[in-house]
Every structure is written in structure tokens, then in C-alpha cells.
Amino acid sequence: MDADYADAVRELVRRIPVGRAMTYGLIAEVIADRIVAAGGTARGGPRQVGRIMALGDGDWPWWRVVNAAGAPPPHHVAEALDRWDDEEMPLTADRSRIALRRAVWFPEE
């Protein structure tokens, strides 16, 4: 299995600050870049990241990862909304999705 890939994803997600979020595509890109930088062949993509999230092994802030539209996964929408309220995640006016413009975070430093 890609235990390495899965670990990379979870580790990156854990680094997302409270009140910020990342998209599947962005996470996939960051990790792909790392693999290439390490001399490996780029693999994975948004769907692979999503697949790992679906496994849901361990405790990590999966609610800070949303699709490109800023909408939460169709599985735990209600819970995601609660989490967002708890950490004051910037939401759109209708509160149906994250205000990516303000909330997207990119790993720097």
C-alpha cells in the first residue's frame, strides 16, 4: 500500500492552522512536488488524497480539507459545520461552504 503517501497526506493536513483550510488538489500538488524533489516519480492526485481521507485512520483535522468549491465532504457535512464554527472558519454568506478566498492555507516555512 502507499503508507508513505498516506502518511504524507495526514502529516500535511495536521499542519493546517486552526481556522484555515486546504483543497484536495492543493494537497496533492504539494506532495507530488515533494516526491519529485526527492527524486521519485510524481504520482497521486486529488482522488488519491480523497481516498486516504475516506479510510479515516487516526485522529486528524479532516474537516480542514475541502474540495475545490470549498464545500465539505458529503459524508459529515453537519459535523464539519460544527467544527468550523468552533474554530471560527471563514464561511460564505450562506454558510454552505468555506470562504476559500480567505481560508486557504499554503505550507510555508
Partner DNA sequence: ACATTGACTAATT
Partner DNA sequence: TAATTAGCCAATG
**Which residues make up the interface to DNA (CB under 7 A)?**
1-2, 23-25, 43-51, 53-54, 56, 62, 65, 67-69, 72-76
Find the shortest distance in angstroms from Cβ 65 to DNA. 7
Q: How far is CA 52 from the centre of its chain?
A: 11
The smaller minimum CB distance to DNA, of residues 59 and 109, is found at 59
Find the shortest distance in angstroms from Cβ 109 to DNA. 24
CA-nearest of 47, 65, 44 to 2 is 44
Report phi then psi at 91, rounded to 5.
Answer: -115, 165
The smaller minimum CB distance to DNA, of residues 19 and 50, is found at 50
Find the shortest distance in angstroms from Cβ 75 to DNA. 6
DSSP letter at 75 equals T
The smaller minimum CB distance to DNA, of residues 18 and 69, is found at 69
Find the shortest distance in angstroms from Cβ 24 to DNA. 3
What is the DSSP track for 10-43?
Answer: HHHHHTSPTT-BEEHHHHHHHHHHHHHHTT----
